[in-house]
Amino acid sequence: MEKREIIIDLLGSDLGPEEMLEGARLVLEEFPNIHVALAGPRKLIEAAGLPEGRWRILEADKTVTNLDNPIEAFYSKEPVSVFKALEEAGRCDEVIGLINAGNTGALFAGAIRFLLADKSVRPCIAAILPTAQGGFTCLVDTGASIDCGPQQLVQFAHQGSDLMRSLYKLDAPRVGLLSNGAEPTKGNKLVKEAHALLAREDGINFVGNIEGNKTLSGLCDVLVCEGFAGNQVLKNSEGMAVNLITEIIKYGKMHNQPAAKEIAGYLMSRFDFASLGAGIMLGTKKTVMKARGSCNRTAVLNAARILVNLAENKSFYESIH
């Protein structure tokens, strides 16, 4: 069997490199045929006691914090873990993907430099969100491109459609455009121009504008927006789900309602935004999984599961690169 390797950037997460290392340990335990390359401090990695012969070190002591300028960090002479990880992913044929929980801007800049599949297509990050109808919606972009033009939103629509077509076998994924109103005349300049382009774009099943309160309604299979708005949708949806579940649990305890625990458990299973482990970067030669800064070891394992599944599903893998 051919060697398959996953690169894990240990630095940049809120919980620290130790938690990411424990995630790597879970990956090695679940997948006996998978190797890992760990980008981070050598001493920390060597002291972790990981299984012999299935890991290697991409030594780096620096990361890009949320206070750093990603471009300045890229040109720094010091070894930065995210850039070493991305460069190795582009160089090594055995690598099936990369997991990172650090600065999104640095990840995006490095991906453009080392992993860009097509220079005319801007990479984006997709998140698969559960809907009220029991299905899923691909939200794209969720933070890679804060400022972009209408033509890039069209590219995101194609990338998201390809993903949902392959992942859920949808013949013509419905594409919606995030806006502040359902009418074609609503939205800012970017949204209005993108609406006109999407409405006549070949290969796109455009269903029109989708308002913010309908993002999880199931009205579309792909929801397109620029990265700032997409990141807010993602975090606000997760925050509302967590608050609702917490209130149900509190109510059940206050009023001695055992059924509340069952309801909360159901909602947690339905709206677990961390269940996929990370967002999927589209438009790169290797799959990059962008985990949240607060990701834990389980999220690392879930992201690795996606990478393994993508590698085993060749048609799916090729469709998103």
Angle at the Cα of 282 (from 281 to 285), degrees rounded to 5? 95
Domain check: are 245 and 290 in the same one? Answer: no
Q: 279 in a domain, yes or no?
A: no
Res 69: pLDDT? 86
Res 1: pLDDT? 57
116 forms beta bridges with: 284
Q: What CATH number does the domain containing 92 carry?
A: 3.40.718.10
Res 272: pLDDT? 65
| Pairwise CA distance, residues 307 & 287, whole Å | 7
Q: 91 in a domain, yes or no?
A: yes
Q: 209 in a domain, yes or no?
A: yes
Domain that holds residue 46: 1-117+284-321
Res 316: pLDDT? 52
Domain check: are 269 and 293 in the same one? Answer: no
Domain check: are 139 and 270 in the same one? Answer: yes
For the chain, 321 residues long, the average pLDDT of each consecutive 10-residue run is 90 95 97 96 95 94 88 84 96 95 92 86 88 89 88 96 88 96 93 97 97 92 95 85 85 86 77 68 92 90 90 61 53
Q: 293 in a domain, yes or no?
A: yes
**Per DSSP, which regions of 31-108 are E strands?**
34-40, 55-59, 95-100
Domain check: are 171 and 253 in the same one? Answer: yes
Domain check: are 148 and 179 in the same one? Answer: yes
111 burial class (0-12, 13-18, 19+ CB within 10 angstroms)?
buried
Res 320: pLDDT? 53
Task: Convert 20-53 to b/e letters by CB count within 10 Å (16 or more is b).
Answer: bbbbbbebbeebeebbbbbbbbeebbeebebeee
**Per DSSP, which regions of the chain are E strands?**
4-9, 34-40, 55-59, 95-100, 124-130, 136-140, 174-179, 205-211, 222-224, 279-282, 287-290
Domain check: are 132 and 202 in the same one? Answer: yes
Q: 251 in a domain, yes or no?
A: yes
Q: 76 in a domain, yes or no?
A: yes
Res 13: pLDDT? 93
Q: 17 in a domain, yes or no?
A: yes
Domain check: are 254 and 187 in the same one? Answer: yes
Q: Which of 209, 203, 205, 174 is nearest to 191 (CA)?
A: 209
Count of the separate structural domains present in the chain = 2
- Ordered strands of the 222-224 beta sheet: 55-59, 34-40, 4-9, 95-100, 287-290, 279-282, 124-130, 136-140, 222-224, 174-179, 205-211
Res 277: pLDDT? 59
Domain check: are 269 and 145 in the same one? Answer: yes
- Where do runs of H (alpha helix) occur along 136-273? 150-168, 189-199, 227-254, 258-270
| Pairwise CA distance, residues 301 & 290, whole Å | 13
Res 266: pLDDT? 76
